[in-house]
Structure 1
Amino acid sequence: MASSSHVHDGPHNQDAISLQSEDEGHELDGDTGSSDSNYGSSGPASYCSTIRSDAEDYYWENGRRYHAMGGGRYLLPNDDTELDREDMKHHMWTLVLEGNLHLAPLGDSPQRILDVGTGSGIWAMQAADRYPSAEIIGFDISPVQPSWVPPNLVFEVDDLEQEWLWGTASFDFVHCRFMFMSVMDWPAMLAQAYQTLKPGGYIELAELDLQPMPSFKGKPSPPLIDEWFNIQGKILAKKGYDMRLASKFKQMLLDAGFEDVIEVVRPVPWGTWPSDKRLRAIGYWHVEQLKMGLQGITMASLTRAGWSAAEVEVFLAGLRAEMNDSRWQIQDQA
């Protein structure tokens, strides 16, 4: 399910939204096309030039490209395959949110929006199109975003775990999505978000609560998928990451000083088994982005834990087969 928390932050009266999602596993019947916006030559992106050379320092491992900035602590690749998966996941998430880019009640004319860990930049580009009144800033540790973007959008390169460079009370909205494998110190990150928000501003956290469960009582769980989550969860926990982070967002936001936290939880099927048309489409895109991303999600963490690349590939082949098996009717929460 998808959980969204809008939060007001004490003296600043800021709001926050935290979103989690549950995987289900329904049948395909809905819109499987992309709603992504395409942009031509509206304006070049701008980057923090002082760190750009370091930011473009990549390395290759088991055929995938990774970012070297931050000591290689980021376990996801930043190559074209991963960026395509991000765009696919974005489309799935807009279906979860019923066509919306966010749940925070921003009104029609927000002035400044910050997209944390912008990735391919697709959310920031669509937000810039949706809110022509706003200056949109998308920042990420990797400069992999398009060079030509809407005129009210800039991309910047920075490490979100370092000190943020924006002033106090700079933004109406801070958006943070799919970052459980990128942030180690969430209290520190949320403290910085709190400081950058204007009085009455909103923060929205969105994430899958990664614990697939049978959608119907008495249904079995897929064994390899269960094993994958168990193995991956233990490895990531040793490195400081939490696969069940989404269920903790609300309390983390309250602890950071935000007020009026709203949590929204929605089902996210694995596959096309649901009878509901929209859920079938969500389930289709969710499984497709997972199959595309399995190697990127898993390869670095398992090989650095002692697996050979060949062993990982055999394991992933079994996972893909299980994901294609219509007998398994499971879901996550978002």
Structure 2
Amino acid sequence: MEKKPAGGKSSCASDRAPAPVDAPGRPSVPPPADDPEMVEARTQYLALRKEIRPDSDTQQRLARARHRVYTTVLDGNLTCSKLPSRLKRVLDVGSGIGCWAVDIARRHPEAQVTCLDHHAVRLADAPANVSFLAADLNRAWPVAPNSLDLIHVRAMSDDVVSWPFVLAQALKMLRPGGQLEVAEIRPRFWDFDGLFAVTDALPEGEKMSAELSAKMGVDLDPSVNLPMWLDDAGFERAAQRSEILPVGDWSKDAKLHQRATVYREMLELSGWEGKSRQLFVSSGWDLPRYTALVNRMKESIMSGGVRVYMTAVFTTCRRPADEQ
């Protein structure tokens, strides 16, 4: 049995459950990047990811549901970071259909907000201060160095080849004192009652996902290592905030019940697959076998035997302000 992880910061004072950010026993580094099998698997995986069109009806509904989850967790705010009263230039990395970018642009009409994604999706209702840029975040960003006040990265773990590279790009593009925020929902289920470090609802699925991620060098759970990578990249004031996302209708707390409702909507729209479908298929699993695994996971979690939750982790930092 794994040791119960240390608790993280939570805004839900009435809840005693931990909000872990560490993951005991998890490998901290991927296998060598020149491993032929890993390179081939990762190539297939990223090809499947790029085939997903953010402007399809299903992806639009899922993107809006995901946006509601993050804003609900933040009590209606768009960032965990405390932002300056005036923003000039903002970059939303992996913007999808631009839900977050449009909202931040409306709240800060003085800011120029750029969406960066594989597909430049132009929303009809986007305000004039939003622009859309088609680019690969795993290559040099076509953005002026030292120009950004804020970079926002959310739910991008399945598209990042190298987090150190992405963070180095972010540091280069931020002005001194500029802020970076990375938000991710960890792909792990936890036991609210604290009997286990992770739930025993379906260890098969979590173990297989971790093994396949390591096989191809894809890190679906980067929150664990982000503070280390940020320090190596040259950022300062790195901090993490972890928030509970109940899975199932077990919470009596009004705030947690609201989170559970919006998170259930997102899970249903995604078919409970999360970020794992492309990972499993590119690793050679056939769809019926994968679907059976997902259905077993859903049935086990929703049976009510264990009060299950996941965590949304917000990692914040800034480029040093005293650079010459």
| TM-score, length of structure 1 as denominator length | 0.74
SS at 1:132 equivalent: coil
The amino acid that maps onto 2:296 is: G
CA-CA distance at 1:210 after TM superposition? 2.4
Structure 1 Cα separation of the partners of residues 269 and 262 of structure 2: 10
SS at 2:49 equivalent: coil
SS at 2:209 equivalent: helix
Gaps of 5+ in 2: 1-6, 11-18, 22-42, 313-324
Contact residue 2 and residue 96 of structure 1 kept, 8 A: no
Please state if 1:74 is matched with 2:49: yes
CA-CA distance at 1:307 after TM superposition? 2.2
Contact residue 181 and residue 241 of structure 1 kept, 8 A: yes
Residue of structure 1 equivalent to 2:221: 244
Which digits, 9 at most, give the CA deviation of each residue in 1:153-190, with x for residues without a partner?
01110000111111111110000111111112111111
Please state if 1:120 is matched with 2:71: no
Residue of structure 1 equivalent to 2:246: 269
Residue of structure 2 equivalent to 1:299: 277
Structure 1 Cα separation of the partners of residues 78 and 64 of structure 2: 13
Residues 1:237 and 1:69: Cα distance change in structure 2 (over 3 Å): closer
Structure 1 Cα separation of the partners of residues 223 and 140 of structure 2: 24
Residue of structure 2 equivalent to 1:109: 86
The amino acid that maps onto 2:123 is: P
Residue of structure 2 equivalent to 1:331: 309
Residue of structure 2 equivalent to 1:55: none
Equivalent residues in 2 for 1:306-325 (5 A)?
306-325=284-303
Please state if 1:198 is matched with 2:209: no
Residue of structure 2 equivalent to 1:166: 143
Residues 1:112 and 1:328: Cα distance change in structure 2 (over 3 Å): same
Structure with bigger RCO (C-alpha 8 Å, 6+ apart): 1
CA-CA distance at 1:83 after TM superposition? 3.0
Give the % identical residues: 27
Residue of structure 1 equivalent to 2:132: 155
Within the candidate set 286, 290, 294, 2:263 is matched to 286
Please state if 1:180 is matched with 2:157: yes
Please state if 1:214 is matched with 2:191: yes
Residues 1:232 and 1:119: Cα distance change in structure 2 (over 3 Å): same
Residues 1:315 and 1:251: Cα distance change in structure 2 (over 3 Å): same
Contact residue 153 and residue 182 of structure 2 kept, 8 A: yes
Gaps of 5+ in 1: 5-20, 24-67
Residues 1:158 and 1:264: Cα distance change in structure 2 (over 3 Å): same
Please state if 1:132 is matched with 2:109: yes
CA-CA distance at 1:316 after TM superposition? 2.5
Structure 2 Cα separation of the partners of residues 333 and 312 of structure 1: 24
Which digits, 9 at most, give the CA deviation of each residue in 1:92-127, with x for residues without a partner?
111111110002222221111000010121000101
Residues 1:98 and 1:71: Cα distance change in structure 2 (over 3 Å): closer
Structure 1 Cα separation of the partners of residues 79 and 44 of structure 2: 29
Pairwise CA RMSD of aligned residues? Answer: 2.7
Q: Kindly tell me the number of residue pairs found equivalent between the two proteins.
A: 273
Residue of structure 2 equivalent to 1:91: 68
Residue of structure 2 equivalent to 1:18: none
Contact residue 301 and residue 308 of structure 2 kept, 8 A: no
Moved more, 231-240 or 287-296: 287-296
Moved more, 261-270 or 157-166: 261-270
Runs of 4+ that moved beyond 6 A:
1-4, 68-71
| TM-score, length of structure 2 as denominator length | 0.76
Contact residue 169 and residue 199 of structure 1 kept, 8 A: yes
Residues 1:122 and 1:137: Cα distance change in structure 2 (over 3 Å): same
Structure 2 Cα separation of the partners of residues 193 and 164 of structure 1: 9
Contact residue 185 and residue 311 of structure 2 kept, 8 A: yes
Contact residue 44 and residue 282 of structure 2 kept, 8 A: no
CA-CA distance at 1:222 after TM superposition? 4.7
Residues 1:158 and 1:75: Cα distance change in structure 2 (over 3 Å): closer
Contact residue 121 and residue 132 of structure 2 kept, 8 A: no
Contact residue 3 and residue 206 of structure 1 kept, 8 A: no
The amino acid that maps onto 1:250 is: P
Residues 1:289 and 1:71: Cα distance change in structure 2 (over 3 Å): closer
CA-CA distance at 1:259 after TM superposition? 1.1
Which digits, 9 at most, give the CA deviation of each residue in 1:24-83, with x for residues without a partner?
xxxxxxxxxxxxxxxxxxxxxxxxxxxxxxxxxxxxxxxxxxxx9996163783343233
